[in-house]
Amino acid sequence: MRIYLAETAGFCMGVKRAVNIALETAKEKGKDIYTFGPLIHSPQTVERLEEKNIRVVEDIAGLTSGTIIIRAHGVGPEVREAIERSPLECRDATCPLVLRIRNIIEKYAKQGYTIVIVGDKGHAEVSALLGYAEGRGTVVEHAEDVKSVPKGKVCVVAQSTQERQLFKKVVTKLKERGGEVKVYDTICDATTWRQEEVRALAARVDAMVVVGGKNSANTRRLAEISRGMGVKTFHIEEPGELTAEDLAGSEEVGVTAGASTPNWLIEKVIDRLEHLSEARGGRLRRAFSGTVEFIVKGDVYVGLGGAALCFACAVLRDLWPAWLSVATAGFYIFAIHVLNHYTDREYSQYKESYKLNVLEKYKKGLVASGLAAAAGAIVLSWLISPLAMGLMIFGTLLGIIYNLPIVPRRLANVVRIRRLRDFPMSKNLGTALAWCLTMILLPALELGSGLELSPTLTVFAFAFAMVFARSTLLDLRDVQGDMMVGNETIPILIGERNTKLLLTGVVLASMSLLIVASAFGWVNQSGFLQLLALLYVLVYVGLYHMRRLHQAMRCEIVADTGFFVAEGLAAVWLVLS
């Protein structure tokens, strides 16, 4: 079975903004936070927000303190006025496009126009907008409903997630009646793109899976469009709703999602589809797929990648053979990555949800392996030198407690830091620095080499670029997960576009330094070959930018393979020299 993920699947701009406002409020206030109605039409997201003390209310009567968040769909004028009169602090998460529609309605209602809203009766957004029509509003769900619209001056707008074809039909029928018709196409462009993409995707697959809340109008519309094209379509909220029988005979399956569907839920659905696909294959294929899945999701691949990068760095500085260092680095990196999954359940739930099935299935074995690897790294480092062992003990303890609360809750409410993870950019920079120190110090200590400035700086820059790129790329595609767990990563702090520019700049700077260092003999000539490893990084960053690497497991495999590219280039140089 081949699985095609729609590029536009997942949170739209308005939903991202609303969730950001809610999470920022939760971090700032900590308690007594409410949303007037569900913040967005995603039961899973609303449930997760409740875990962060953000509760849904339908009436503010009786609330004497705290913060109320206006949901993305907005609220009517009566509710807004009641909120303003209340003692509650208000945070407005209304989608900017909905605010624009509201302004249009208010303007023309005051001028005596009949306001026609092309949308779904009873939908939260439509109900809120009707309140600003001063009693002159009417909702049109079907083109035939136009006959019930009073004749005269008419202003027509659309629910932001409406289907554009219906909107055009309604406008045509209104104009055919004669009279003044003011038309404002207020359909969100993202909605149109999703609908066009689902049409294109449905035309090439045997089945479509639409992920999102059953109460989400835009998600239901995607499913309706797909069914209308004669394609077997499943509108689901949870991956467990899909069965092997549902997809029997389907060789190509498309996946799309509504504007309120979080990435971690989409990843779980894709993971479910992959398992259903593997179950169809023969025993050999299932064994191979299961092995690959365990190696990647069980963090074995990244641990081996750490050993591979250590080898490349040691060769670059003529510090070879350094077998103990390579083995130590591999054990250390595997141990930290795998154990961190179990020191913070929330992290794995949102950040790397596609790994959950493996992490749960092999929990005892992975925890035991992680602890054994940590112990192995310490023992091997002791064979290198006492200083290396001290470094490894410190690094291992730091990595294990990274997700654990170490600051008392009362003090944490003041300083806003309770775990090492809470420090801004700690994951991106901390991961890169931990790897770099391991790659540089261990081989030097094992072979008794000094740390001359120019060679050390060159290797540091090379290793930093390789690891920083991998860490930051994964954070780019997991921004929603980081928001949910409170990680202030670089993509969250400076935005996706600036992060890509920064990432590219770091890699190009490392390439420039590597050229100079190789030319002046600060490192050996393998430096020229390692330019290809950095070029590989630029290629996968470019592929991500073109939305070719948004599938979680594929993204991680491609990023981690960069370390093996560096290892292979170093091995080639050793052979040739």
What are the residue numbers of the active site? 125
Which among 413, 397, 267 is positioned nearest to 343, based on CA atoms? Answer: 397
The DSSP-derived string for 227-249 is HHTT-EEEEESSGGG--TTTTTT
In terms of Cβ atoms closer than 10 Å to its own Cβ (0-12, 13-18, 19+), residue 442 is buried
**Strand arrangement, sheet containing 207-211:** 2-5, 252-257, 207-211, 232-236
The DSSP-derived string for 252-273 is EEEEEE-TT--HHHHHHHHHHH
Q: Are 259 and 218 in contact (CB under 8 A)?
A: yes
Q: Are 235 and 241 in contact (CB under 8 A)?
A: no
Helix 263-280 vs helix 283-297: angle between axes, to the nearest 10 degrees?
A: 150
C-alpha distances (whole Å) from 76 to each of 40, 102, 218 are 16, 10, 21
Q: Are 74 and 93 in contact (CB under 8 A)?
A: no
Neighbours of 404 (CB within 10 A): 13
The single-letter code of the amino acid at 507 is: V
Q: Are 76 and 294 in contact (CB under 8 A)?
A: no
Residues whose CB falls within 8 Å of the CB of residue 406, separated by 6 or more in sequence, listed in order: 418, 419, 420
Taking the C-alpha atoms of residue 109 and residue 104, their distance in angstroms, rounded to an integer, is 8
H helix runs in 96-216, sequence order: 96-110, 124-130, 164-176, 189-202
Place of tokens 């700690």: 426
Beta bridge partners of 69: 35, 91
Neighbours of 577 (CB within 10 A): 10
Residues whose CB falls within 8 Å of the CB of residue 348, separated by 6 or more in sequence, listed in order: 341, 355, 356, 359
Token reading at 14: 């308005």
Taking the C-alpha atoms of residue 384 and residue 402, their distance in angstroms, rounded to an integer, is 26
The single-letter code of the amino acid at 182 is: K
Place of tokens 């900017």: 96
Taking the C-alpha atoms of residue 226 and residue 229, their distance in angstroms, rounded to an integer, is 5
C-alpha distances (whole Å) from 299 to each of 306, 339, 389, 477 are 11, 10, 23, 18
C-alpha distances (whole Å) from 293 to each of 10, 279, 552 are 24, 14, 12
Which among 171, 233, 162, 150 is positioned nearest to 195, based on CA atoms? Answer: 162
Which uninterrupted H or E stretch holds 324?
helix 323-343
In terms of Cβ atoms closer than 10 Å to its own Cβ (0-12, 13-18, 19+), residue 111 is exposed
Taking the C-alpha atoms of residue 478 and residue 493, their distance in angstroms, rounded to an integer, is 14
